[in-house]
A = this chain, B = another copy of it.
Amino acid sequence: MKIDINTVAKKAGVSTATISRVLNNSTKVREVTRKKVLKVVKSLNYEIDATARSLRKKKTYAIGLIVENVLSYFYAIIVKSVEDVTVVNGYNSILCNTERDPDKELKYLKLLKSYNVEGIILLPTGKNSAYLNNLINNTNIKIVFIDRLVKDVNCNAVLVDNLNGTKKAIDYLIKRGYERIAIITGDVEDSSTAVDRLKGYLSSLKEAGIKKDNRLIKFGDYRWESGYKYTKELMEAKYKPDCIFISNANMALGAITVLRELNINIPDDLGVMCFDKPNYNDLLYTPLTCIEQPIYDLGAKAVNLLINEIESKDQQEIKKKKPEIITLQTNFLIKNSTK
């Protein structure tokens, strides 16, 4: 029933080795033979069996991509860029969504190993460092982190300059006259991104001689709900901020939702700025002053790093050399959500 290489070989009157050579673009085939084979291949609608080929070649041309959730625009862009660049290089990507659940992440890491992917691009939950080190040390699977690092795991990464991006943002807010700038950042336990954004915030305040005030610092989880929740907390407290800096777009959208419910006018009553540009920012009822990230590049560069490693001639060398960490710069966008 299934058309395999034997069927093709028989019909073409040559051996399977020759078919294989044609299919793998070996030069050691006479032009006449090649033509004949290709004709038969086409006539039978034969497609090579990737499973068998992978097993034999020990090469799958597959990489895994683990993100949090494609429903977020940020991750969707990464998925798209990774796919684009992967395909251009003759590889395929397998997409996994962790939902920020370390168990799911672990499950997917194992799955991808089992699938013999040649590399993994990981937007990490921050846990699973033991298993990650196991992959790095005991297998040939290359790993590149994207957007954030994992404690105690040394490997290549492509990041955004969160520290300086945030510093520039807070400096701007201070210059505009804001005095009680609150921040809603991510979970500093799990995310190096959240840590750096908080650091940038604190550093700017310090330089301006403004004292850190814990009432103005909230730790969210980068989701809409936590932007909503902590903005509400901030605005219902006795000591209120005059401006809120929010560490990502999803939380910022939660924030402006609740601000409208509370009838708090932006920017008259409160300034709002965020890290990461919301999708269709200009169509929002309040386009947000924000730090735009080179998200597509983040994914594209990660794939390039990864494939370079995979295809490197000198695998010994690769194991030894220390991790390459690429840091991309951000872009400042001023809208009317700040005065």
Point out residues on A near B: beta carbons under 8 Å: 2, 45, 47-52, 54-55, 60, 69-71, 73, 76-77, 79-80, 83, 92-97, 110-111, 113-116, 134, 138-139, 253, 256-257, 278-280, 282-285
Report A337 CB to chain B, min CB distance, Å: 12
Given known contacts A111-B92, A285-B283, is B50 in contact with A116 (CB within 8 Å)?
A: yes
Q: In the complex, A73→B92 CA distance in Å?
A: 23
Q: What 14 new A-B contacts, CB under 8 Å, besides A51-B115, A73-B73?
A: A47-B113, A48-B114, A49-B114, A49-B116, A50-B111, A52-B55, A55-B55, A70-B70, A70-B80, A71-B77, A79-B95, A83-B96, A257-B283, A278-B280
Q: In the complex, A249→B278 CA distance in Å?
A: 17
Q: Quick one: which of A52, A73, A95, A134 has the most chain B CB within 10 A?
A: A95
Copies of this chain held together in the complex: 2
Q: Which residues of B contact A54 (CB under 8 A)?
A: 51
Q: In the complex, A134→B256 CA distance in Å?
A: 52
Whether the pair B50, A114 counts as a contact (CB closer than 8 A) is yes
Q: Which residues of B contact A94 (CB under 8 A)?
A: 92, 94-95
Q: In the complex, A215→B114 CA distance in Å?
A: 58
A-B contact pairs, 27 of them (CB 8 A): A45-B134, A45-B138, A47-B110, A47-B114, A49-B55, A49-B114, A49-B116, A50-B115, A50-B116, A51-B51, A51-B54, A51-B60, A51-B116, A52-B55, A70-B70, A71-B73, A71-B80, A73-B73, A76-B76, A79-B95, A80-B97, A92-B111, A93-B95, A280-B280, A283-B284, A284-B284, A285-B285
Q: Which residue of B lies closest to A278 (CB)?
A: B280
Q: Which residues of B contact A280 (CB under 8 A)?
A: 253, 278, 280, 284
Q: In the complex, A80→B70 CA distance in Å?
A: 7
Whether the pair A253, B116 counts as a contact (CB closer than 8 A) is no
Q: Which residues of B contact A138 (CB under 8 A)?
A: 45
Q: Which residues of B contact A253 (CB under 8 A)?
A: 280, 283
Report A298 CB to chain B, min CB distance, Å: 15
Q: Quick one: which of A45, A69, A111, A280 has the most chain B CB within 10 A?
A: A280
Q: Which residues of B contact A93 (CB under 8 A)?
A: 95
Q: In the complex, A113→B333 CA distance in Å?
A: 46
Report A223 CB to chain B, min CB distance, Å: 14
Q: In the complex, A280→B77 CA distance in Å?
A: 18
Given known contacts A285-B284, A285-B285, is B83 in contact with A79 (CB within 8 Å)?
A: no
Report A292 CB to chain B, min CB distance, Å: 16
Q: In the complex, A50→B55 CA distance in Å?
A: 9
Q: In the complex, A110→B48 CA distance in Å?
A: 9
Q: Which residues of B contact A110 (CB under 8 A)?
A: 47
Q: Which residues of B contact A55 (CB under 8 A)?
A: 49, 51-52, 55
Q: Which residues of B contact A60 (CB under 8 A)?
A: 51
Q: Which residue of B lies closest to A116 (CB)?
A: B51
Q: In the complex, A283→B285 CA distance in Å?
A: 6
Report A181 CB to chain B, min CB distance, Å: 23
Q: Quick one: which of A48, A76, A138 has the most chain B CB within 10 A?
A: A76
